[in-house]
């Protein structure tokens, strides 16, 4: 599948699942741009990153993928037929690269998808120009999973019993989660989360509860940018400082804005830090 300047498409994987892709490219038509591949965090979709497109797509091809079970990406109707593990999830991301004709990408993983980026960078450095993790924990301890259970027996149960909209409404009431308390933003955020099916989210929570990025950190050799929230409810600056100390040569930028979703309320700071980081990468690559 050849890349297109703009696109809204479904990539069908060999295992039968599909990934919903949004593609934007406003670079000069005579140039061959590098690609920024954006992978959002849990419960969000590729649509949540709409506001990054204007800043990035003048300089790079921007690909946004919805996670397995999120948005318009599919999820297995029978979980017993799908091997929900890291190998499967990474193989689907790599298949997206292949079908879109992307030899290497600048991978941006937000929140828990930063762990996917860490694993990709460690296992498949030949496919990654640079890695950026944004508000990304290295793992989800029991306290975090309990937090996301929003008072239910566990996190998957909350998604199944409340549905995606009910779960989003419950989470939105917790301090330090959403980027803004503006009523219109909260309504829009909940509406976009509700595009996903509660069962699709529940299946992914089980995978996330077992995911651990820590074993991969020491093996990451690609240039890495860490965008760390100062005021997140689910992670600390100290944790990100420890990640930065483990990934040799990484760059840490602390973003002092409310909540966990710095990609929203701290978008300008994050975008400027990313573009500066990518510019420096390009300069160093030429040298």
- CATH code of the domain in which 241 resides: 3.40.50.1820
| Structure confidence at residue 1 (pLDDT) | 41
pLDDT value at position 27?
Answer: 96
Name the pTM for this structure.
0.95
By residue range, what is the domain housing residue 79? 6-139+214-286
The pLDDT, as a whole number, for residue 286 is 61
Asked if the structure places residue 148 within a domain, the reply is no
Evaluate whether residue 183 is within a structural domain. Answer: no
- Residue 105, strand partner residues: 128
> Considering the domain boundaries, does residue 263 fall inside one?
yes
Residue that has been written with the tokens 């301890």 in this structure: 141
The answer to whether residue 190 sits within a structural domain is no
Give yes or no for a contact between 176 and 232, defined as CB atoms under 8 angstroms apart: yes
In a domain, 122, yes or no: yes
Residue 282 lies in a domain: yes
Angle formed by the axes of helices 155-172 and 183-193, nearest 10° = 160
Q: How far is the C-alpha of 93 from the C-alpha of 95, rounded, in Å? A: 5
Contact 248, 226 (CB under 8 A): no
- Average pLDDT for runs of 10 along the chain of length 287: 71 98 96 97 96 97 98 93 95 98 98 98 99 96 93 97 97 78 89 97 95 98 97 89 97 92 94 98 76
Specify the pLDDT at position 4.
55
pLDDT score, position 234 = 81
The reply to whether 106 falls in a domain is yes
80 is a domain residue: yes
User: How many domains would you assign to the chain?
Assistant: 1
Minimal CA–CA distance to 230: which of 249, 253, 251, 212? 253
Residue 253's CB is within 10 A of a number of other CB atoms, namely 21
């Amino acid at each position: 599948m050849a890349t297109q300047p703009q696109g809204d498409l479904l990539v069908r994987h060999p295992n039968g699942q599909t990934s919903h892709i949004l593609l934007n490219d406003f670079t000069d038509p005579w140039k061959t741009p590098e690609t920024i591949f954006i992978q959002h965090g849990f419960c969000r979709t590729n649509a949540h990153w709409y506001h990054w497109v204007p800043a990035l797509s003048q300089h790079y091809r921007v690909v946004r993928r919805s996670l397995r079970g999120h948005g318009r990406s599919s999820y297995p109707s029978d979980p017993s037929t799908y091997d929900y593990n890291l190998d499967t999830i990474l193989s689907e991301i790599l298949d997206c690269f292949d079908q879109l004709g992307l030899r290497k990408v600048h991978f941006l993983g937000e929140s828990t998808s930063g762990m996917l980026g860490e694993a990709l960078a460690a296992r498949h450095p030949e496919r990654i120009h640079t890695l950026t993790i944004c508000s990304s924990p290295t793992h989800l301890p029991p306290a975090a999973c309990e937090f996301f259970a929003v008072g239910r027996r566990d996190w998957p149960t909350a998604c199944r019993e409340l549905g995606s909209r009910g779960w989003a409404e419950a989470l939105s009431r917790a301090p330090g989660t959403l980027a803004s308390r503006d009523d219109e933003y909260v309504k829009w955020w909940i509406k976009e989360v509700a595009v996903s099916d509660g069962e699709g989210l529940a299946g992914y929570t089980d995978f996330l509860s077992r995911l651990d990025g820590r074993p991969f950190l020491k093996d990451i050799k690609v240039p890495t940018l860490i965008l760390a929230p100062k005021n997140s409810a689910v992670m600390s600056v100290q944790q990100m400082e420890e990640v930065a100390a483990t990934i040799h040569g990484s760059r840490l930028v602390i973003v002092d804005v409310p909540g966990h979703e710095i990609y929203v309320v701290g978008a300008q700071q994050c975008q400027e830090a990313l573009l500066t980081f990518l510019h420096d990468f390009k300069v160093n690559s030429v040298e």
